[in-house]
A and B are shown apart, each in its own frame.
Chain A
Amino acid sequence: MTYLGLGLSGPHLIELAGNPALLARWDALPLAFTVLGIDRIDGTGPLPLTLDSSAVGASLAARTRRARFLIVASPQRDHPYNLARRVASLGHLSRGRSGVLFGAADAYAPPGERPRTAATAIDAARVVRALEQSWPYDSIIGDRETGILVQSDRIVHIDHDGVYSVAGPLNVPEPPTGSSVIGWYSTGPDGVVADSAPIDLILDADSLWRPDPGQSLAEVLAAVEKRPLRAVLGLSAPARPVGARPAFAVPAPNSSL
């Protein structure tokens, strides 16, 4: 199986946040990204324990320097304006190491007012993208001569009117590294992602390694650390040539003098 990312579940997050040695190993993993709490949206949760994904992301942003991560989100109960603020804030504070992975339903939360469908989640994703883009980073000029901090005429309303109605703009500028990566986690045929305007990345059970939540985090990290290049690339072992001429005779048991 080939994969770029690792999907950690609730109990793994608690181990990761609570153990500096594991955290240092995680920070050095040769991976594109880690999903913080995949069991929230992949149909396997709820497990006995978890932490809020954006809260974990904020903590990891401060305590690590290299590892990249996606927080998970389903707009089941939260509103996309609040979510967009957290996503953009993480983008700044992680120095561009973060993104968000949407799913249709949050296994840890009771149902909210809106239907738990891909259509709702994708609309929230559109709001998040539009809000992040509502305030371009390079409008921040900090010109002491004119006393102008921000060329605020370049900030725009988003006037989004879909499942959600949101005027905007966001009260956080776009991160200097650009809009946050937005992913979609697909748990089955949903059709909506065909119109995937804000979706940068589609993940599913085949493209994300989701270790058994019962496996300890140390074991999970070791498995990733030891993966050889061929496995990372998803290549099978090449066939060996047959019938080649042996370079040496078959060794007989060694007899000492």
Chain B
Amino acid sequence: MTERRTGHVILGINVLVLGYLPAAWQSPLLTKDSFVDPEYWEGIGRTAERGTLDAIFLADGPALGDPAYDANPIKLEPTVNWGYVAGATSHVGLVSTASTTFNDPFELAERLLSADVLSGGRVGWNIVTSRGAVSARNFGLADVPLRDDRYERAHEFVDVVTALWDSAATGQDIHHHGEFFDVDGRLRVPPSAQGRPVLLQAGGSPKGRALAGRAAEGVFAAELTKGQAIEHYRLVKGLARENGRSPDDVKILPGLLLSLGSTEEEAKRRSDELHDAGPASYSIGWLSQSIGYDASKLALDEPFPEDVLAAPADPQTFQGSIGFRESIVTQIRRTNPTVREYLKQTRYTGSGHAGFVGTPEQLADHIEDWFHAGAIDGFNLQPDVLADGLDVIADELVPILRRRGLYRHEYETSTLREHFKGAS
């Protein structure tokens, strides 16, 4: 019997604009333009700090999906958005997603380190490589480069960024001449309270995990089952060790889609009502994108055909996330549902990211279970509607976790890196 884990869980919020469900904007707590309203964003930061949460995350992509029925495609630029929230808060970590395919390493290094200085050392960078021709066409490209090339560029991009952050401290120019970048120069930005921003990696492809093992201090993972989560947890910690790092230096934080209620029935009703208020095509569209197959062509009352579940023809050109696809296919193979059953089921269990529908007490049980099973270091919680869902996390879930000794009562540290380290 191994010893019970000490330390506490890390709690982040993945702020999917107004909430992960498309109908979130219909909440009576919101105005028609809350997604660009400074008051809304200040509220998110303040509520997160009331719950002494470790970090708030922003996903990102440089293109617009149709916002007719859903605020999720509408994205204020993350470093500006969190830079604003940093000015209204004092402790919560602020993680911005930024693409290594569509940014320049000098410009991004300077911007992130500046944001880190201005926030008192609370900035994290979630490294993504981006996908999709729609984004590419905003940058004068016909399509994104192949997956392997994107990750080659990502590795070199991260090297240049971290070297530039070092240059800010040493005052010495860097001279980088690689396959993708030539950079001679240095940053003239002062070092931040935590030295430099925290690196996080999102995505579950082998290339993504390799990047995480080498450089990331946090991984934003997608895990549907505890078994798979434990396996991936050990895999990434092992990769960190192979890179001469301590396994504690990389924190694993899967996403968890949430609908909470004061009883399980109430939570399910909330989830159903939100699903029913959103566009019917949403679930099918999401599934199609995730598995790389047009799900509207599937017979709703038949099980998934084998050729749909088989690996995508070419992982290099597959537009979806390999990590999401893998977790979805594993889930389908386990129970062999019909397409309709799967779409209904996943209202409660999540798809891609795991879902959770229940009470704050049950959620605390779930977090405790996965934490002690060695499946996670924490969760990146994704409420259905943030306008009230975040309050339930701060005012109900967090106090339960505190009583169980799984979470701190006050902020004990002030930078994001210290928050992560303080959890061990």
Residue in A47, A56, A147, A173 whose beta carbon sits within 8 Å of that of B36 in the complex: A173
What are 26 contact pairs spanning A and B, CB under 8 A?
A51-B114, A54-B111, A55-B83, A55-B114, A58-B80, A58-B118, A59-B84, A59-B119, A61-B87, A62-B87, A81-B138, A82-B77, A85-B80, A88-B77, A92-B38, A92-B76, A93-B81, A110-B106, A112-B104, A142-B25, A147-B23, A147-B278, A149-B25, A149-B70, A152-B68, A169-B64
- Residue numbers in B under 8 Å from A112 (CB-CB): 104
CB distance from A88 to the nearest CB of B (A): 8
B76 with A93: CB separation less than 8 A: yes
- B184: interface (CB < 8 Å): yes
Give B19 Cβ to nearest chain A Cβ, in Å: 13
Given contacts A55-B118, A172-B75, A172-B77, 6 further A-B contacts (CB under 8 A): A108-B110, A142-B32, A149-B32, A166-B138, A171-B62, A171-B73
A140-B33 in contact (CB<8A): yes
A92 to B76 alpha-carbon distance, docked (Å) = 9
Which A residues are in CB contact (< 8 Å) with B71? 149
Task: Digitize A159-192: 1 where CB-to-B-CB distance is under 8 Å, 0 elsewhere.
Answer: 0000011111111110110000000000000000
Does B88 lie at the interface of the complex (its beta carbon under 8 Å from any beta carbon of A)? yes
Asked whether, in the complex, the Cβ of B118 is within 8 Å of the Cβ of A93, the reply is: no
Q: Within 8 Å of chain B (Cβ to Cβ): is A211?
A: no
Q: Which of B98-120 contact A (CB under 8 A)?
A: 102-104, 106-107, 110-111, 113-115, 117-119
Question: How many CB-defined contacts (below 8 Å) exist between A and B?
Answer: 185
Q: Which residue of B lies closest to A71 (CB)?
A: B80
Who on chain A is nearest to B184 by CB?
A110
Chain B residues with CB under 8 A of A116: none
Number of interface residues of B (CB under 8 A): 63
In the complex, are the beta carbons of B76 and A89 less than 8 A apart? yes
Chain B residue at smallest Cβ distance from A108 = B188
Inside 8 A of A213's CB, which chain B residues have their CB? none
Mark A94-112 against chain B: 1 for CB-CB distance below 8 A, else 0: 1100000000000011101
**Least Cβ–Cβ distance between A29 and chain B, in angstroms:** 19
Q: Which of B75, B104, B111 contacts A52 (CB 8 A)?
A: B111
Decide: B38 and A10 in contact? CB cutoff 8 A: no
* In-complex Cβ contact of A50 among B80, B85, B134, B188 (8 A): B188
Residue of B nearest to A150 (CB): B67
In the assembled complex, the Cα of A121 lies from the Cα of B111 at a distance in Å of 19
In this complex, the member of A17, A58, A172, A176 whose beta carbon has the largest number of chain B beta carbons within 10 angstroms is A58
> Does B156 make an interface contact (CB < 8 A)?
no
Residue in chain B with minimal CB distance to A106: B107
* Residue A49 is within 8 A (CB to CB) of chain B in the complex: yes
In the bound assembly, the distance between CA atoms of A93 and B23 in angstroms comes to 24
Task: Check if A89 sits within 8 Å of B81, measured CB to CB.
Answer: yes
**Contact, CB under 8 Å: A164 / B140:** yes
The residue from A62, A142, A155 contacting B84, defined by CB atoms under 8 A apart: A62
Considering the complex, give the chain A residue whose CB is closest to the CB of B119. A59
Residue pair A144, B26 in contact (C-beta under 8 Å): yes
Interface: B137 (CB within 8 A): yes
Kindly state the separation between the CA atoms of A42 and B185 in the bound complex, as whole angstroms.
19
Contact of A61 among B64, B84, B189 (CB under 8 A): B84
User: B79 contacts the other chain (Cβ, under 8 Å)?
Assistant: yes
* Closest chain B residue, CB of each to CB of A134: B64
Q: Which residues of A contact B81 (CB under 8 A)?
A: 58, 89, 93
Given contacts A62-B42, A81-B62, A167-B137, contact A150 B111 (CB under 8 A): no
Query: What residues of B have a CB within 8 angstroms of the CB of A7 in the complex?
Result: none
Q: Among the interface residues B37, B70, B76, B119, which one has the most CB atoms of the partner chain A within 10 A?
A: B76
Q: Which residue of B lies closest to A91 (CB)?
A: B36
Known: A58-B87, A59-B83, A142-B25. A165 touches B140 (CB 8 A): yes
B74 touches A52 (CB 8 A): no
The residue of chain A having its C-beta at the shortest distance from the C-beta of B279 within the complex is A147
| Whole-angstrom CA separation of A153 from B75 in the bound complex | 18
Cβ contact within 8 Å between A89 and B188? no
- Known interface pairs A48-B188, A57-B80, A79-B139. Does A62 touch B111 (Cβ–Cβ under 8 Å)? no
Which chain A residues border B114 with CB–CB below 8 Å? 51-52, 55-56
Residue from B102, B278, B279 within 8 A of A79 (CB atoms): B102
List the 3 closest A-B pairs by CB distance, nearest first.
A62-B87, A142-B32, A58-B83
